[in-house]
Amino acid sequence: MVEVIPAILEKTLEEIHEKVKRIRPYTKMIQLDVMDGAFVPNETFRNPWQLRDLPVTMEVHLMIERPVLFVNSWALPNVQRLIVHYEAVDNMEHLIQHIRQTGKKVGIAINPSTSTFELKPYINDIDLVVVMGVDPGFSGQSFQYDVLEKIKEVKKLRPDVLVEVDGGVNADNRDDIVAAGCDILAAASFLWKSEDLGAALAQLRG
């Protein structure tokens, strides 16, 4: 069964708490999307100190410029892994080492326009590759099917690395994504807009 992680991208602490409350009966893991309005054309809540007691385990997806400056502040006790964008990093080797020093797992995300070739120097030093199914920034976009090849390419580079697909994931495309080799589905609008959150999660899990 594929793992499904609900993604939360909200502008206020209250909205984050409300979604965590809704999802907790079904899962204890979320993805928190952190956007700065610079790397992506959208902004979300960005105060880690106020999230340290959030009653879930998180992967934090840093869709921000110069993420190296914010690694320590986001390495909260309830955070399992930190995801940074290849496109936002000048010295990836240094950043991977920095994240490791916090005790967190390391994920690298690549945009649809970024070649998996760029991951080759780092593929053995990370825990997770996030293949973006949309251009990052906004929930509700249509999935770009050509990224399915990226999943296969990443698995060829390193078969045992976890591959997560984030963006545009829904019940119609989940089978194609999983068949390509995906281990984790991150979903936002499909889940949050559903009338039955538990049933929507079950659909994606398969």
Strands (DSSP E) found in the chain: 3-8, 29-35, 57-63, 79-85, 105-110, 128-132, 162-166, 184-187
Rounded distance between C-alpha atoms, residue 44 and residue 167, angstroms: 16
Could you confirm whether 166 is annotated as catalytic?
Answer: yes
Integer distance in angstroms from the first to the last C-alpha of the chain? 6
Spot the catalytic one: 33, 53, 125, 135. Answer: 33
Instruction: Tell me which DSSP letter residue 194 carries.
Output: S
Residue 121 and residue 97 in contact, taking contact as beta carbons nearer than 8 Å = no
Phi then psi for 163, rounded to 5 degrees? -120, 125
Query: Do strands 105-110 and 128-132 pair parallel, antiparallel, or not at all (unpaired)?
Result: parallel
| Other beta carbons within 10 Å of 2 | 16
Spot the catalytic one: 36, 90, 166, 196. Answer: 166
- Catalytic residue positions, numbered: 33, 166
